[in-house]
Amino acid sequence: MNNLNDILLAMDFGTSNSLVGMVSREQQKITLPIDPFAKDNSILRSLVYFSDENTSFYGAEAIKEYIQNDFEGRLFRSFKSHLPNPNYLGTLIGKNRRLPLEELVGIFILQMKKRVETNLQTQVDSVVLGRPARYSMNPIEDELAVFRMRKAAEFAGFKNIHFVPEPLAAAFNYRKSLTKERIVLIGDFGGGTSDFTIIRIGPFNFKKSDVLAIEGCPLAGDALDSLFMSQHFNNYFGANVQYQIPMSSNLLRMPPVILDRLNKPAHIVHLKESATFEFLREIKKVAVSQKDKDTVERLLCLVEDNQIFSFFEEIEKTKRTLSSEGSAEFKYSYPGIEIKENVSRKNFEMWAEDFKDKVFSAMDRALVDAQLHPEAIDLICLTGGTAFVPIINDEFAKRFGKEKLNTTSHFHSVQSGLVEAASLILQGVDIAM
C-alpha cells in the first residue's frame, strides 16, 4: 500500500482527550481503537506517566500504573497547553533524562501512531492534525506552538503533515447532517481552548469561501478548573503565606511564579522539580506564623505525596456537578490535606466572569470577521463538556435564542470532522486556512 496516496490518519490530539481516525483512497472512513484500558477504546486520555526514566504509560493505563506504584514517578496532563509558552522548554525525568516539550508531545503522538499501525497492520506516514483556532492570542506564540506541533509529529515519524483548525473540523462533522443551506456557528469547547467557526453549510461541495470566519481563545475547561484553585483553594496551600528571610526586616509573600504553577493543572506538577521543591521547604522554615507553616506543609504534602492529579480530578467533579446543581460539596480527605467545602454555582460564576468575557469576545470577533449580525446565524452547534457550563450555554441562548442551540458533549465531533477533512484532502480539495 502506498501510504501517502492511499491512507491518511486524522488525529485529534486534545488537551484532555485524544482520538484517531483514518480515511483510505477508497473513501473508507473509520474511527480507530487506541486505548484498550478505557471504557470507550476510541478515546485515549492525554496523560503520560513515567514510572522511571525509561518506562512510560499512556491514557487509562497511565492512571492505573500511577496508582499501583503508590503515586511515585511523574504524571503529565494538559501538556498541550505548554506549546505556545516560549519559556517552557521541557522537564527532567528522574535525575538524568531531560525531556524537551516537543519530545513529550512527540512520544504521545508516536504512541497513538504505533497503536494505529498495529491495528491497520501497515505503516502510515501521513496525518491530518487538528489545531486550535488560536494556541495563544500572541501571534508569535501561536506560530511557535504550530512549529512545535510539527516537530512533535516529525518526531513521531510523520512525513506528510496537514493542519486543520479544530473548529473547522467540527463544522465538517455537522456538515454531514444538514440537507439544506444554513449559516452555522460552531463552538468547540475543549480542555485548553474555545474555538469558533462560522460557515455556510449545505448539500453542496465544500468551497473555502464557505468558511466565513475562524476564531478562538486559549481558555476552556482547564481554565475553569484553575479558577477553583486560584479563587478558593490555593489559600490552603500557602498562597497567602508570609515569610521573612533571616537578617532581613522585609516580609515576603509566595512568589508569583509559584502561584502561577500552583493554580494551573498543567503547571502544578512542576512544583516537584528539585530546585522549586527545596525552595518551598525553605519558605516553610522561615514562615512567620504556625498557620503559614501549616499551609506550606499542606502544599509540600500535595506535591511530594503525588496528590495533584487526584485533587484536580475532584475539582473537575465539582465543576461538573455545578453544571446541573446550585451547589456542590468538595471533599478531599487525604491525610494532611483534609478539605471539606461547599461551593456555590453563584460564586463559581462570579469567578468565571472574566473567563466568559474573553470567550465571547472571541466569538464576537468571529461575527465581525464574517460581517454578520447574530440574527443572521441559523444554527448554533456547541460541542465539548464546557459547552454545558450554564454561564456558557445561557449566554448563547441569550444572544441567539434557545431555539437555535444544539449542544452535545460528543467527544468525537472534532475527530470525525478531521476524517472528513482528510477525505477532502485525498480528493485534492484545498482546505488550507
| Domain co-membership, 11 together with 151 | yes
Give me the number of domains the chain comprises. Answer: 3
How far, in Å, CA of 382 to CA of 366, rounded? 15
Give all strands (DSSP E) within 218-253, no chain letters: 242-243, 252-253
The proportion of the chain whose per-residue pLDDT surpasses 90, expressed as a percent, equals 70
d(CA 238, CA 258): 10
For residue 176, being part of any structural domain is answered with no
Q: Residue 13 pLDDT more than 60?
A: yes
List 236's β-bridge partners, or say none: none
Same domain, 325 and 190: no
Is residue 145 included in any domain, yes or no?
yes
Question: Do 21 and 159 have their domain in common?
Answer: yes
Give tens-digit pLDDT for 82-102: 999 999 888 888 878 889 999
Assess whether 148 and 80 both reside in one domain.
yes
Residue 173 falls inside a structural domain: no
pLDDT digits (tens, 9 = 90+) for 371-401: 999 999 999 999 887 888 899 999 999 999 9
Angle, CA 232 vertex, CA 230 and CA 236 arms, to 5°: 90
* Residue 366 placed within a domain: yes
CB atoms under 10 Å from CB of 166, counted, come to 31
Residues 363, 315, single domain; the answer is no
Note whether 153 and 129 are within 8 A (CB).
Answer: yes
What is the DSSP pairing of strand 55-58 with strand 7-13? unpaired
pLDDT at 106: 97
Phi-psi region for residue 87, left (φ > 0), alpha (ψ -120 to 50) or beta? alpha
User: Does 204 map to a domain?
Assistant: yes
The answer to whether residues 334 and 271 belong to one domain is: yes
Residue ending a domain, choose from 308, 329, 351:
351
pLDDT 10s digits, 87-146: 988 888 887 888 999 999 999 999 999 999 999 999 999 999 999 999 999 999 999 999
CA distance 145 to 105: 11
Q: Does 402 fall in a domain?
A: yes
| 33 and 98 fall within a common domain | yes
Question: Could you tell me if 233 and 296 lie in one domain?
Answer: yes
Task: Give kind and range of the element (H or E) at residue 223.
Answer: helix 221-228
* The three cell numbers locating residue 368: 465581525
Residues 131, 205 share a domain: no
| Length of the chain, in residues | 433
What is the distance between the alpha carbons of residues 296 and 241, in angstroms, rounded to a whole number?
8
Please check whether residue 432 lies inside any domain of the structure: no
Does residue 431 belong to any structural domain of this protein? no
Same domain as 107, residue 27: yes
Residues 191 and 160 placed together within one structural domain of the fold? no
DSSP 94-108: TTTEEEEHHHHHHHH
Give 3-state DSSP helix, strand, coil % of the chain, rounded to 5.
Answer: 45, 25, 30
Q: Which of 121, 236, 45, 162 is nearest to 420 (CA)?
A: 162
Chain position carrying cell 446565524? 377
pTM of the model: 0.85
Per-residue model confidence as pLDDT tens digits over 246-281 = 888 889 999 999 999 999 988 888 898 888 999 999
**Same domain (yes/no): 193, 336:** no
**Domain CATH for 7:** 3.30.420.40
- Domain holding 86, by residue range, is 3-167+413-426
